[in-house]
Amino acid sequence: MTHVTVDIILREHRALSAMLRAILLLLGEHRRRNTVPDLAALEAMVFYIGEFPEKLHHPKESRLLFPRLRGRDDKLDAVLDRLDRDHASGGHALREIEHALLGIQVLGDPAGRNAGWEAFEAAMRQYALAYLEHMHVEETEVLPLAEAVLGAADWAELDAAFGANRDPMTGYEADEAYRPLFRRIVGALEKSGGIGSALEAFAGTAQPKFSEEHRPHGG
């Protein structure tokens, strides 16, 4: 039996993986064309990572799930320590990425390839590859143990906490405040030669939804 928390974590992993892979695809496609991506769209995609996975997903794993698994096996404790370090350093790495984007905007030429774009792409690639591996470890080593050893009271608390997450990339309708963000992301990907459909395929879900009365013009 798969618990609600595990299902949510896996869906949120698919969403983050989709966004990271879409960014890498976008960067790779523009590098191939010797052009530059839409800077505002990249800022929106990076903002999504900071606003949902970094603020909602990772802290709950470190505060609520991992402590329930500690002390059962020294090897697993070492894995949890590494995952916690990843969570702690992820916010710093994302700030470096945001800083690189800001540097392109205020110091360089956003419309032309330069050292700023090279620095951003290198930092983004390192962050993405590290977190794809991070999620693989959680899914193959941490979640199976959690399903095997945690009891009903543990799952009830975890389900309530993780169930409060409302990441639009996992199938929830985007809240009013986030609709402009996701419209910008979806619009940019739809113009990028199939990367939008790749995002859906990676995530295993449709792109963020909007109520009919809130759909963008022409949507």
Cβ of 71: how many Cβ atoms within 10 Å?
Answer: 9
Reference 182, options 215, 204, 143; nearest CA is 215
Reference 14, options 209, 208, 210, 205; nearest CA is 205
Residues 6+ apart with CB under 8 A from 42: 23, 26, 101
Domain ranges in the chain?
4-214
Q: What is the pLDDT of residue 195?
A: 53
Given this structure, which CATH class describes domain 4-214?
mainly alpha
Q: Could you report the per-residue pLDDT of 100-144, keeping only the tens digit for each? A: 898 888 876 666 777 788 889 999 999 999 999 999 999 999 999
Token pair of 10, please?
Answer: 């896996």
Tokens 């977190």 locate to: 131
Name residue 7's amino acid. D
Token pair of 157, please?
Answer: 């608390």
Reference 131, options 170, 82, 180; nearest CA is 82
Q: What is the pLDDT of residue 214?
A: 38
Reference 199, options 213, 185, 209; nearest CA is 185
6 within 8 A of 144, measured Cβ to Cβ: no
Q: What is the pLDDT of residue 144?
A: 94
Name residue 156's amino acid. A
- Residue 194 zone, left/alpha/beta (φ > 0; ψ -120 to 50; rest): left
State the DSSP code for 207: S
| 35, burial (CB in 10 Å: exposed 0-12, middle 13-18, buried 19+) | exposed
Average pLDDT, the chain: 81
Query: What is the pTM for the complete model shown?
Result: 0.80
Average pLDDT for consecutive 10-residue bins of the chain (219 residues)?
Answer: 86 86 84 83 87 86 95 92 93 91 80 80 92 94 94 95 80 67 71 55 44 39
